[in-house]
């Protein structure tokens, strides 16, 4: 529903219910996006949070405390959420804890959080299995560690950050400290970082790649797409034939992808 520094929110569901990954856009925007797809808000069973930055948690108070949707996160992420400036009502009744690398089951979903390197209070990716399909979500990470690589390599469907173009960041208007933060090992992944990893590590069972969390000022969807596409092509992997590739737009919901 949104993917970028202004807000992040993803939906994963069955025919009858679903979950959200992050809720960094307004609750009304979430409701509107779901309604446009004929998905009732009442069908959302839980929200899983990756970290406590505002662009990932903006709507958690309303979803959790007003709409009574369980909010899952690690204890440290929950602590960070309740100390964040954007949270007007602290989470209490909706709080649910998840531990890294301890799988949990929510109806038909098997969900496992895992460590990723970023500069939130605590930071996780999610590996979610449903009906024999494995989805791995990795947004906001400075590098792909062996742990992150393990969960990427399990995926049939992969949501992976390609935040910035290195040249655009280097020559752009951001102050030096912010450029350093973004490019650090606890910052964000560049198009080239993501492209190189995928080209060197792609598996035969990976069917779809969605490039997420693209920067407004330091990237373009077409640039991210082409950087990854060309690097894969150099390794003999053809986008559209061997794997599907999508660069998600920042503020525009994607189409609803249905997998048999």
Please list, in sequence order, all residues whose beta carbon lies within 8 angstroms of the beta carbon of residue 17, skipping any fewer than 6 positions away. Answer: 43, 44, 45, 107
The yes-or-no verdict on residue 221 having pLDDT over 90 is yes
Distance of CA 50 to the CA centre of its chain: 7
Tell me phi and psi for residue 45, to 5 degrees: -85, -25
Distance of CA 150 to the CA centre of its chain: 17
Residues 120-153 pLDDT 10s: 999 999 999 999 999 999 999 999 999 999 999 9
Instruction: Please return the burial class of 252, using the count of CB atoms within 10 Å of its CB with bins 0-12, 13-18 and 19+.
Output: exposed
The yes-or-no verdict on residue 211 having pLDDT over 90 is yes
The token duo for 175 is 């102050």
pTM here is: 0.96
For 115, the 3-state DSSP assignment is strand
The yes-or-no verdict on residue 234 having pLDDT over 90 is yes
- pLDDT confidence of residue 256: 93
Residues 85-105 pLDDT 10s: 889 899 999 999 999 999 999
Cα separation, 121 vs 7, in Å, equals: 18
The yes-or-no verdict on residue 6 having pLDDT over 90 is no
Q: Which residue has the tokens 């989470």?
A: 91
- pLDDT confidence of residue 260: 78
Tell me phi and psi for residue 32, to 5 degrees: -65, -45
Band (pLDDT 50/70/90 cuts) for residue 157 is very high
The token duo for 115 is 């460590």
- pLDDT confidence of residue 250: 86
Task: Read off the pLDDT of each residue in 180-205 and give the average, rounded to a whole number.
Answer: 96
- pLDDT confidence of residue 134: 98
- pLDDT confidence of residue 88: 85
The token duo for 204 is 């035969």
For 142, the enclosing helix (H) or strand (E) is none
Cα separation, 97 vs 198, in Å, equals: 32
β-strands 104-106, 208-212: how paired? unpaired
Band (pLDDT 50/70/90 cuts) for residue 65 is very high
- pLDDT confidence of residue 251: 86
Cα separation, 43 vs 174, in Å, equals: 41
Q: What is the mean pLDDT of the chain?
A: 95
The yes-or-no verdict on residue 228 having pLDDT over 90 is yes
**Rounded to the nearest 10 degrees, how much is the dihedral formed by the CA atoms of 27, 29, 34, 40?**
40
């Amino acid at each position: 529903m949104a993917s970028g520094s202004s807000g992040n929110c993803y939906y994963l569901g069955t025919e009858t219910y679903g979950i959200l990954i992050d809720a960094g856009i307004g609750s009304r925007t979430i409701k509107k996006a779901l309604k446009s797809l004929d998905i009732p808000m009442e069908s959302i069973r839980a929200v899983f949070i990756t970290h406590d930055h505002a662009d990932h948690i903006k709507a958690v108070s309303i979803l959790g405390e007003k709409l009574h949707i369980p909010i899952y996160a690690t204890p440290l992420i929950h602590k960070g959420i309740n100390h964040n400036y954007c949270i007007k009502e602290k989470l209490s009744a909706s709080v649910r804890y998840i531990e890294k690398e301890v799988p949990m089951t929510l109806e038909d979903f098997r969900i496992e959080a895992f460590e990723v390197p970023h500069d939130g209070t605590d930071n996780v990716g999610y590996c979610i299995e449903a009906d024999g399909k494995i989805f791995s979500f990795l947004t906001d990470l400075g590098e792909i560690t062996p742990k992150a690589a393990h969960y990427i390599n399990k995926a049939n469907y992969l949501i992976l950050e390609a935040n910035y173009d290195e040249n655009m960041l280097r020559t752009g208007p951001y102050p030096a400290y912010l450029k350093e933060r973004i490019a650090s090992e606890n910052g964000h992944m560049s198009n080239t970082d993501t492209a190189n990893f995928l080209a060197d590590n792609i598996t035969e069972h990976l069917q779809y790649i969605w490039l997420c969390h693209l920067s407004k000022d330091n990237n373009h969807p077409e640039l991210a797409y082409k950087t990854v596409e060309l690097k894969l092509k150099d390794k003999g992997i053809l986008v559209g034939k061997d794997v599907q590739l999508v660069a998600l737009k920042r503020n525009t919901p994607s189409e609803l992808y249905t997998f048999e």
